[in-house]
Amino acid sequence: MKPRKRSEQGFSVMEALISVAVLALISGFVLQMYIVSYRVNQRAQDKDTANSIVVTAVESIKTQKSFDDLSKAAFFKDCTFDGENGAYQYYDEKWRPMAVPQNADAPVGAKFMLRVGIPSVSTSLGDRYSAAAAKNNGAAAQTDIGMMAELVVSVVQLDGETVRELAKVEARKYYAY
């Protein structure tokens, strides 16, 4: 190989083209990893916020003396109550509560929904306590009558037609009459 002259020193066009192609290929993988990690981080943050909201809702439910007082609790002031089915609240992508328009399923831009469902309610607890007293040979037992509510509190993510559950807590609460 003969030595190059001073004007011929440097990179050839082919060497520069190959190095740019390798750099672009590596950059594509790094960019893809960044995008995936951002999405995973966002999902984890959404799950964490959903868990926090669910736990706060359950704790707020536990402090109420009757189920009718639930709508008066500070946490549920923006919730829409759905008769015997429970309550729900919509949130936007920044987890800000959204008002539900009249005669609408969900507000435009809603990304998350808190649901407080009541799948079953027992109102004849007094009969249970009377049966327990009979088993104990007539010994005194608690005889107050109340309502045992089995609550399901969950936060779901709304993605178009898809609904994905982010957090769910099942709890029991006894309301004495």
CA-based nearest residue to 155, from 83, 76, 80, 57:
57
Length of the chain equals: 177
Residue 2 domain-assigned (yes or no) = no
Give CA–CA dist 72/51, Å, rounded: 22
* Residue 117 and residue 98 in contact, taking contact as beta carbons nearer than 8 Å: no
The pLDDT score that the predictor gives to residue 24 is 94
Helix (H) and strand (E) counts in the chain: 2, 6
User: What residues in the chain have per-residue pLDDT under 70?
Assistant: 1-9, 66-68, 83-85, 101-104, 118-149, 173-177
What is the value of pTM for the model shown? 0.66
Q: Where are the beta strands (DSSP E) in 34-107?
A: 80-81, 86-91, 97-98
Residue 6 belongs to some domain of the structure: no
| Residue that the structure tokens 């609408």 belong to | 104
Q: Is residue 3, in this structure, part of any structural domain at all?
A: no
Q: Domain of 159? A: 12-176
The structure tokens listed for 29 are 């993988």
Q: Structurally, how many domains does the chain consist of? A: 1
Q: Is residue 1 part of a domain?
A: no
Assess contact for 91 and 107: CB atoms under 8 A.
no
Q: Residues 156, 115: contact at Cβ < 8 Å?
A: yes
